[in-house]
Amino acid sequence: MISSKKTARLKTPPLEVADILRRYAADYKRDHSVPLAHLKVMHYLSVCRTKELGGHIEKCDSCGFEIQAYNSCRNRHCPKCQSLTKAAWLEKRKSELLPIDYFHNVFTLPHEINPLALANKKSIYTMLFRAVGETLTEFGEDKKYGLGGKIGFIGILHTWDQKILDHFHLHCLIPGGCLSFDKSKWISTRKNFLFDVKELSKTFRDKFTHLLDRAFKKKELIFPGRLCYLSDNGEFSSLLAKLCTKDWVVYSKESFVDPEYVLDYLGRYTHRVAISNNRLIAIEDNTVTFSYKDRKDEGKIKSAALTADEFIRRFLLHVLPANFVRIRYFGFLANRYRKENLTLCRKHLGAPPPSSQPTPKPIEQLMLELCGLNITLCPLCGQGTMKTVEILFPPSHEKRLSSNMKHRFYNTS
């Protein structure tokens, strides 16, 4: 049986996106036609780390303090479930860092495309990756604007802005150099400069609009509701003409050298969701208040208030298509030949190979190394080790379990 000593639940942030869904999701579903994919996300986030998913009881082997720890939903849109995923992903990337400058470029789609993108997420997101991939590859190969070889980079899709509205852009982390076409040497970029952003912008725009036009002609796009007018050839051609006359935005950040900083910097973008729990300020009277960074006002932190209905609507804008990969690798970092190419890069750069192939680390070790948090340490006495003593099965499973299997005990010595 459970010890009679004091028990406690794991600490949670004061406010969570899950709290909003628990309070207002029923009203939202009543007032809106919600697709199955969105219903699943709402459900998983609502039950994350609650008794609905089951869990276990941990007990301190020193003072007997007990904690109920419930299972995570592991949904990639959940603000609570991304920290460990990100930590494990970054751990794998450590061995792939090269001792060179790195650059950060951001390719943004014009807002005129937003309604079309929301109705055709998979198609538009795929076009964005392809247009950026072809643009950077072309510049890397062209000696006039680039380096004259094969570059590599990581692309990370983001679909939101600070106010959780639709804002489609691709973050790219690019090593400052490339492999020659015959892979016989490493070609370094100029210090603090990669490619001319104005030329990048033009090429990116041309490639994306070409892909968009081809998708329209192949009838690969849909135009529901208010977008039905775009199904007309003339209207769609007008949209393309408007897009082609705009200056598309490509942002280029100054290079940074320290590999550890590169890894930390990359971690800010990889496994983010539309809004993190720590940005929530208040949930009351059917209103959600959250903080945001106003980039138009020198990055000052401000607050915004939305009805719960509007907050949920904006959050669901960023649900990704099923099985869609939002972190992709290009050039000499492409998955198939990455290990071989990185070995050649290190050889040409005179850098030693990684000490060993990284092996998956236990969750406890990752949390300690990357977050400085020892999750095995007793939060009460600060000396004992927390050990699992009992499994808590989800309520939905109880009827299917025999009475002697409802509780499973582990060695508590």
The domains of the chain are located at: 7-78+363-405, 82-274+318-349
- Cα–Cα nearest to 230, from 121, 111, 119: 119
Question: What single letter denotes the amino acid at residue 97?
Answer: L
Taking a C-beta distance cutoff of 8 angstroms, is the pair 149, 178 a contact?
A: yes
- Cα–Cα nearest to 390, from 56, 66, 70: 56
- Pairing relation of β-strands 102-108 and 166-175? antiparallel
pLDDT, position 405: 47
Once rounded to an integer, what is the mean pLDDT over residues 352-357? Answer: 72
Residue 7 scores a pLDDT above 70 = no
Q: Report the DSSP beta bridge partners of residue 121.
A: none
Q: How far apart are CA 366 and CA 232, in angstroms?
A: 54
Question: Mean pLDDT lowest for which of 42-46, 382-386, 389-393, 396-400?
Answer: 396-400
pLDDT, position 411: 42
pLDDT bracket for residue 409 (50, 70, 90): very low
- Cα–Cα nearest to 155, from 114, 206, 204: 204
Q: How far apart are CA 383 and CA 406, in angstroms?
A: 31
pLDDT, position 209: 98
pLDDT bracket for residue 8 (50, 70, 90): very low
Q: How far apart are CA 398 and CA 405, in angstroms?
A: 9
pLDDT, position 397: 65
Condensed to tens digits (0 to 9), the pLDDT of residues 301-318 reads 999 999 999 999 999 999
Per the confidence metrics, is the pTM higher than 0.95?
no
**Residue 228 φ/ψ, nearest 5 degrees:** -60, -30
Q: How far apart are CA 152 and CA 338, in angstroms?
A: 9
- Pairing relation of β-strands 7-9 and 66-70? parallel
Residue 257 scores a pLDDT above 50 = yes
Q: How far is CA 317 from CA 164, 288, 321, 393, in A?
A: 8, 17, 11, 33
Q: How far apart are CA 146 and CA 159, in angstroms?
A: 28
Tokens of 293: 């960074």
Residue 9 scores a pLDDT above 50 = no
Once rounded to an integer, what is the mean pLDDT over residues 372-389? Answer: 86
pLDDT, position 356: 60
Largest Cα separation within the chain, whole Å, is 76
Coil, helix or strand at residue 376: coil
Condensed to tens digits (0 to 9), the pLDDT of residues 106-155 reads 999 999 999 999 999 999 999 999 999 999 999 999 887 778 999 999 99
Condensed to tens digits (0 to 9), the pLDDT of residues 146-197 reads 789 999 999 999 999 999 999 999 999 999 999 999 999 999 987 767 888 9
Once rounded to an integer, what is the mean pLDDT over residues 221-235? Answer: 96
pLDDT bracket for residue 366 (50, 70, 90): low
Tokens of 149: 């070889």
C-alpha count within 13 angstroms, C-beta hemisphere, residue 356: 3
Calculate what percentage of the chain has a pLDDT beyond 70. Answer: 88
Residue 407 scores a pLDDT above 80 = no
Calculate what percentage of the chain has a pLDDT beyond 90. Answer: 64
**Residue 322 φ/ψ, nearest 5 degrees:** -55, 135
How open is the CA angle 275-56-77, to the nearest 5 degrees? 20
Residue-averaged pLDDT of the chain: 87
